[in-house]
């Protein structure tokens, strides 16, 4: 994406030697008349003319900047600075990229009517909207006694999306093991998406893929993708539960939970939208609740990139459950992601279960371990608030509510595998 010039500032950086030469020239010219003073005057005049000329040429340098405005965490992308000159002579310039790029400056000669493109690659390690800052073009004088600098803001911001935590096979196994899948979860063929082509086996003529049949020399038929007639609800609670009293002690843990819960949610959204299933995402955050529904999972990322939870405990998970309890249908699926689950949430889940087909609860008080890292020695234990959940586990299982609690040494995939093991039992 290309962007026009914006907020340009031109200024000069002058060496003290420049001022000393000018002052000496003026003082000597007032009292001394000889050829050496005249030469000094000529040199001083040339310095002043050169300074004014470079200032004028700075206005003849045209720039624009291009680059991606949407990337994922740790995804490398290029910031391209295009520079052209309408000056009447070559200019020695140094291009200093924005500080966020963390790259060395580039020195070059910019010829008249010439144009150059400089590419600087970078990445961001955290999600959110990032201000790119500014870059600088330094026009150097032959004497190195001064520089004319052009400082210009990058005219766009970059939105950094969260990473996706992939676990598609495990999600499918969980949903297949729940009894509601066999009894109430109805599937219909979606003729907009061809999943496969196979040999003809007495299917209706309307299913024959004539182009493939001609290419293969035998009759081939279309297999369509299946689209669910139900809706999935993913409830993501980013707030620290109201029952936690030591907010300061949980600040770091909450931050870790928040980032990893968002990653898990992003992976689930990609999975469901890839299966062409209708999905609602509800996010409880510091400013309220989002209720989102898109067919393209990337559109959710605009919200996931910016959303932040709160430590104040003004909202609780029960309020999030209340948003869907009156709208779910008997064949819908609800997936709840949170830090804790208390007696109040358990009661709300049991009421919700009477209205929807299945509920999966993913509790991550410490987030989860990176799938690419090895297991480590953990000094944390499940908090008292989470331990109370085990008192209700049997009741929840009898109601086909699947619950998994992540320890900090458990990866996201390992937690899902425990869910599938429990479903098999």
For the stretch 316-341, pLDDT in tens is 788 889 999 989 988 888 999 988 87
How far is Cα 224 from Cα 211, in angstroms, rounded to an integer?
A: 16
Q: What's the confidence (pLDDT) of residue 181?
A: 38
How far is Cα 168 from Cα 56, in angstroms, rounded to an integer?
A: 61
Provide the token pair at 101: 């790029």
How far is Cα 308 from Cα 143, in angstroms, rounded to an integer?
A: 53
How far is Cα 158 from Cα 68, in angstroms, rounded to an integer?
A: 7
Q: What's the confidence (pLDDT) of residue 425?
A: 39
Q: Which of 72, 265, 68 is nearest to 160 (CA)?
A: 72
Q: What's the confidence (pLDDT) of residue 307?
A: 94
Domains in the chain, please, with CATH?
A: 2-14+59-161 (2.60.40.10), 175-181+229-424 (3.40.50), 195-227 (no CATH)
Q: What is the 3-state secondary structure (H, E, C) of 43-90?
A: HHHHHHHHHHHHHHHHCCEEEEEEECCEEECCCCEEEEEEEEECCCCC
Q: Please state, for a pLDDT cut of 70, what percent of the chain lies above it.
A: 81
Q: What's the confidence (pLDDT) of residue 225?
A: 53
Encode the chain (425 residues) as per-residue pLDDT tens digits: 444 445 789 888 888 888 888 888 888 888 877 888 888 888 889 899 988 999 998 889 999 999 999 999 999 999 999 999 888 889 889 999 999 888 899 999 989 888 899 999 999 999 999 999 999 999 988 888 888 999 999 989 999 999 888 766 566 666 655 544 333 334 445 455 566 777 877 677 777 878 778 888 888 887 765 444 578 999 999 988 776 666 777 788 889 999 999 999 998 888 888 878 889 999 999 888 999 999 888 899 999 999 999 887 667 788 889 999 989 988 888 999 988 877 788 888 988 988 888 888 998 888 888 877 777 666 665 556 556 666 766 677 777 788 888 887 888 888 888 876 655 43
Tell me which DSSP letter residue 327 carries: T
Residue 181 CB contacts under 8 Å (≥ 6 apart), including other chains: 175, 358
How far is Cα 364 from Cα 264, in angstroms, rounded to an integer?
A: 10
Q: Which of 5, 100, 18, 4 is nearest to 52 (CA)?
A: 18
Q: What's the confidence (pLDDT) of residue 407?
A: 80
3 state DSSP class of 33? coil
Q: What's the confidence (pLDDT) of residue 379?
A: 60
For the stretch 158-192, pLDDT in tens is 999 998 887 665 666 666 555 443 333 344 454 55
């Amino acid at each position: 994406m290309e962007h026009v010039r914006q907020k340009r500032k031109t200024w000069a950086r002058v060496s003290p030697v420049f001022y000393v030469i000018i002052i000496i020239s003026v003082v000597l010219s007032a009292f001394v008349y000889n050829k050496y003073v005249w030469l000094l005057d000529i040199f001083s005049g040339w310095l002043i003319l050169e300074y004014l000329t470079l200032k004028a040429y700075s206005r003849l340098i045209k720039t624009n900047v291009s680059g991606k405005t949407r990337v994922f965490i740790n995804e490398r992308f290029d910031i391209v600075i295009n520079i052209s000159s309408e000056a009447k002579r070559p200019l020695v310039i140094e291009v200093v990229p924005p500080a966020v790029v963390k790259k060395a400056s580039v020195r070059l000669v910019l010829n008249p009517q010439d144009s150059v493109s400089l590419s600087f690659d970078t990445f961001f390690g955290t999600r959110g909207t990032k201000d790119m800052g500014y870059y600088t073009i330094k026009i150097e004088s032959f004497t190195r006694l001064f520089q004319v600098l052009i400082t210009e803001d990058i005219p766009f911001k970059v939105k950094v999306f969260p990473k996706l935590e992939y676990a598609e096979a495990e999600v499918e196994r969980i949903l297949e093991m729940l009894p509601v899948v066999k009894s109430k979860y109805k599937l219909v063929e979606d003729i907009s998406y061809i999943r496969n082509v196979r040999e003809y086996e007495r299917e209706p003529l309307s299913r024959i893929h004539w182009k493939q049949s001609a290419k293969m020399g035998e009759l081939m038929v279309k297999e369509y993708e299946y689209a669910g007639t139900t809706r999935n609800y993913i409830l993501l609670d980013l707030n620290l539960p109201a029952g936690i009293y030591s907010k300061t002690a949980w600040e770091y843990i909450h931050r870790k939970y928040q980032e990893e819960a968002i990653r898990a949610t992003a992976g689930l959204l990609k999975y469901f939208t890839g299966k062409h299933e209708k999905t609602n995402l509800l996010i409880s955050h510091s400013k309220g609740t989002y209720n989102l529904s898109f067919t393209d999972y990337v559109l959710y990322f605009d919200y996931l990139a910016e959303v932040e939870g709160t430590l104040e405990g003004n909202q609780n998970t029960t309020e999030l459950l209340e948003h869907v309890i009156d709208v779910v249908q008997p064949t819908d699926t609800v997936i709840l992601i949170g830090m804790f689950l208390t007696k109040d949430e358990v009661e709300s889940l049991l009421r919700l279960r009477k209205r929807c087909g299945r509920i999966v609860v993913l509790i991550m008080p410490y987030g989860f371990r990176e799938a690419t890292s090895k297991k480590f020695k953990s000094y944390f234990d499940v908090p008292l608030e989470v331990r109370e959940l085990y008192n209700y586990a049997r009741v929840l299982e009898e109601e086909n509510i699947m619950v998994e609690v992540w320890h900090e040494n458990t990866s996201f995939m390992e937690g899902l595998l425990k869910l599938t093991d429990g479903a098999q039992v």
